[in-house]
């Protein structure tokens, strides 16, 4: 797809799931990708594979989006040929626990808020000045259906994704005259490492989340992101909700026995 050929795409949380799938999808279209996350070994393997398969340029950087100083240092000191970020995919994020508010382990709350909300803000704030200067760019946030409806036992995660939705909408207004597009892709259940992380490595509990259903895959979401990124310059997908066919909303899913 010529629209993405040679473009520079920065992806946060590229070491697994949706972020990793986005790295493959953009690389396949000939974009050059900056892949970031905390797990460097995974990123190094991904870089090697992307270069071998797609003959594109890859810049790998170990980045915890919660580290404000490091985020700005990284973006401000990008090598010259990587400075012009065309597309930012704010994907890094996580849920922790699934408990009633009054029984929840509040130690996890900071982690979710710091990653899903503050991390997204830092990366966006670091990247956007050059987009404003150039009057071009596209920011695509990975939100969630949890940013549209709340569900029981998910107050904090839902709050963070509602925040992503609000940031997406407000930012879009702020850059309306700057030729910068702001979109969100908001999935329902996607089978990634998400539930494993949410349940602190309890793989049985994680597997049960997808029991009796066909969930979405990271690749499904990456394809949606590519669609959003390749609309003509005069068109913007404000938000795209994408769900497994058997998931009606956050609390109603049809499962086969």
The residues binding ligand NAP (CB under 6 A) are 12-19, 37-39, 63-66, 91-94, 115, 119, 142, 144, 187, 189-190, 192-194, 197, 218
Cβ atoms within 10 Å of 137's Cβ, excluding its own = 22
HSE of 81, CA atoms in CB hemisphere, 13 A = 6
Minimum CB separation from ligand NAP for residue 120, in Å? 8
Minimum CB separation from ligand NAP for residue 174, in Å? 22
Q: Cα torsion for 161, 165, 166, 170, to the nearest 10°?
A: 150
**157 labelled catalytic:** yes
Minimum CB separation from ligand NAP for residue 213, in Å? 12
- Token code pair at residue 252: 């109603």
CA 129/CA 170 separation, integer angstroms: 16
CA 79/CA 188 separation, integer angstroms: 37
- Token code pair at residue 165: 């939705």
Q: In sequence order, what DSSP letters do the residues of 180-222 get, joined into one string?
A: EEEEEEEES-B-SSHHHHHTTT-HHHHHHHTTTS--B-HHHHH
CA 167/CA 88 separation, integer angstroms: 14
Minimum CB separation from ligand NAP for residue 54, in Å? 20
Minimum CB separation from ligand NAP for residue 7, in Å? 21
Closest listed residue to residue 13, CA positions, set 39, 35, 40, 37: 37
Catalytic residue among 54, 157, 210, 254: 157
| Residues known to be catalytic | 157
């Amino acid at each position: 797809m010529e629209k993405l050929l040679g473009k520079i795409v920065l992806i946060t949380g590229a070491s697994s799931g949706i972020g990793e799938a986005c790295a493959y999808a953009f690389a396949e279209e000939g974009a050059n990708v900056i892949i970031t996350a905390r797990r460097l070994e995974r990123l190094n393997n991904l870089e090697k594979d992307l270069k071998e398969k797609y003959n594109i340029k890859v810049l790998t950087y170990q980045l915890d989006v919660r580290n404000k100083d490091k985020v700005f240092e990284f973006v401000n000191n990008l090598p010259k040929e990587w400075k012009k970020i065309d597309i930012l995919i704010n994907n890094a994020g996580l849920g922790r626990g699934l408990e009633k508010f009054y029984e929840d382990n509040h130690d996890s709350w900071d982690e979710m808020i710091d990653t899903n909300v503050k991390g997204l803000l830092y990366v966006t704030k670091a990247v956007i000045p050059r987009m404003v200067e150039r009057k071009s760019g596209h920011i695509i946030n990975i939100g969630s259906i949890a940013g549209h409806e709340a569900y029981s036992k998910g107050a904090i995660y839902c709050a963070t994704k509602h925040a992503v939705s609000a940031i997406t909408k407000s930012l879009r207004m702020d850059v309306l005259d700057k030729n910068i597009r702001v979109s969100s892709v908001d999935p329902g259940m996607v089978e990634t490492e998400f539930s494993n992380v949410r349940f602190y490595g309890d793989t049985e509990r994680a597997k049960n989340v997808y029991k009796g259903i066909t969930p979405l895959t990271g690749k499904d979401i990456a394809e949606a992101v590519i669609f959003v990124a390749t609309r003509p310059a005069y068109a913007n997908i404000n938000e795209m909700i994408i769900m497994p066919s058997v998931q009606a909303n956050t609390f109603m899913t049809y499962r086969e026995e």
